[in-house]
């Protein structure tokens, strides 16, 4: 996973360099065309080349822009949603975006193949059009991979948290950690998550699990000590602690620096 992410990052950066070069060429071509028009000698096909270069710029810059979170986003409504809803909405958006770009790549590839077989060329320069359609397809594959990797990262960490919540209802927290850490820790570090952050998250999630209905082992321990207090009252009281743990875990997911700031000062 790390190798794939590194390869996508490097490739996206080179695609972005290509888009930057296309911007420079477009600017020089436009300026030269305007200057030549003053002498009554416009550059033939300049309008077509600007269109082709625009396609290269847009398609080749998408992946790096997605990688750097550089898209303009309106978050007036999204920012008001609960943290858990935001988490799943972002994961769903990444999956939808990856699917959309994959479809664009597929259709562009099919369109480019049709143009190649039919011999489609531009009107003025008589340039083959299919290489640019293939370029759009190639440029669409990269943002699809970027968004797919983001979705996998979100999905896996969400699945791990769900597993801990379920297991916390059934077994002791120490036994749960001993059984699962050898499996989950290499996965989390491979995905690039900070080990200290993951440790703090696991402590919070396991504590949530042992007070979560319907089992909630710690709740039954308290019920065994306070025999005069009904079990449903203890569960009701534990709900407040559960809400506090949920808020804390959500803040750590949104702002990992909360868990890593102090340890980073010790490096």
* Model pLDDT for residues 109-165, shown as the tens digit of each residue: 999 999 888 888 888 888 888 888 898 998 899 888 888 888 887 777 778 878 877
pLDDT exceeds cutoff 90 at 88: no
Is position 263 within any domain? no
Cβ-based burial of 177 (10 A; exposed 0-12, middle 13-18, buried ≥19): middle
Asked if 180 and 81 sit in the same domain, the reply is no
Q: Which residues of 138-159 are buried (b: 16+ CB within 10 A; e: fewer)?
A: bbbbbbbbbbbbbbbbbebbee
Same domain, 143 and 212: no
List, for residues 192-217, the tens digit of each pLDDT value. 778 888 888 888 888 887 777 767 77
Task: Decide: 130 and 112 in contact? Cβ < 8 Å.
Answer: yes
- Rounded to 5°, angle at Cα 14 from 8 and 19: 120
Do 190 and 142 lie in a common domain?
A: no
* Dist. CA 169–CA 66, nearest whole Å: 39
pLDDT above 70 coverage of the chain, percent = 91
Read off the pLDDT band of 21 (50, 70, 90). very high
* Residue range 240-253, pLDDT digits in tens: 888 888 888 878 87
Q: What distances in angstroms separate CA 255 from CA 202, 250, 261, one per listed residue?
A: 16, 8, 10
- Residue 142 and residue 181 share a domain: no
- Comparing 83-87, 94-98, 194-198, the range with the smallest average pLDDT is 83-87
* Residue 209 contacts residue 169 (beta carbons within 8 Å): yes
Q: Are residues 102 and 175 in the same domain?
A: no
Q: Are 176 and 167 in contact (CB under 8 A)?
A: yes
Given this model, what pLDDT does residue 87 score? Answer: 67
| pLDDT at 84 exceeding the cut of 60 | no
Same domain, 105 and 67: yes
Using pLDDT thresholds of 50, 70 and 90, give the confidence band for residue 45: confident
Nearest to 219 by CA among 205, 235, 208: 235
Overall number of domains in the chain: 2
- pLDDT at position 103, please? 93
147 and 186 co-located in one domain = no
If we measure between CA atoms, which residue out of 202, 211, 208, 213 comes closest to residue 253? 202
| Residue 14 vs residue 163, higher pLDDT | 14
| Whether residues 109 and 193 fall in one domain | no
Q: Please check whether residues 136 and 190 belong to one and the same domain.
A: no
Residue 133 structural domain = 2-156
């Amino acid at each position: 996973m790390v190798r794939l992410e590194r390869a996508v990052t490097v490739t996206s950066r080179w695609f972005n360099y290509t888009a930057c070069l296309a911007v420079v060429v477009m600017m020089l071509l436009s300026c030269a065309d305007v200057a030549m028009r003053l002498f009554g000698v416009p550059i033939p096909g300049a309008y077509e080349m600007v269109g082709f270069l625009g396609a290269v710029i847009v398609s080749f810059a998408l992946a790096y822009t997605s990688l750097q979170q550089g898209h303009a986003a309106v978050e007036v409504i999204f920012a008001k949603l609960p943290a858990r809803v935001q988490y799943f909405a972002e994961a769903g958006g990444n999956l939808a975006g990856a699917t959309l770009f994959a479809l664009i790549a597929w259709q562009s590839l099919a369109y480019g193949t049709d143009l190649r077989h039919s011999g489609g060329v531009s009107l003025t320069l008589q340039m083959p059009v299919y290489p640019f359609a293939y370029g759009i397809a190639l440029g669409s594959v990269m943002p699809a991979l970027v968004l797919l990797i983001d979705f996998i990262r979100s999905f896996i960490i969400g699945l791990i948290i769900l597993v801990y919540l379920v297991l916390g209802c059934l077994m002791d927290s120490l036994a749960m950690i001993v059984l699962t850490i050898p499996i989950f820790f290499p996965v989390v570090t491979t995905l690039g998550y900070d080990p200290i952050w993951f440790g703090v998250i696991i402590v919070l999630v396991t504590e949530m699990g042992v007070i979560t209905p319907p089992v909630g082992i710690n709740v039954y321990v308290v019920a065994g000590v306070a025999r005069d207090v009904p079990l449903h009252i203890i569960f009701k009281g534990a709900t407040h602690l559960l809400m506090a743990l949920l808020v804390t875990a959500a803040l750590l997911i949104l702002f990992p620096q909360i868990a890593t700031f102090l340890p980073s000062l010790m490096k």
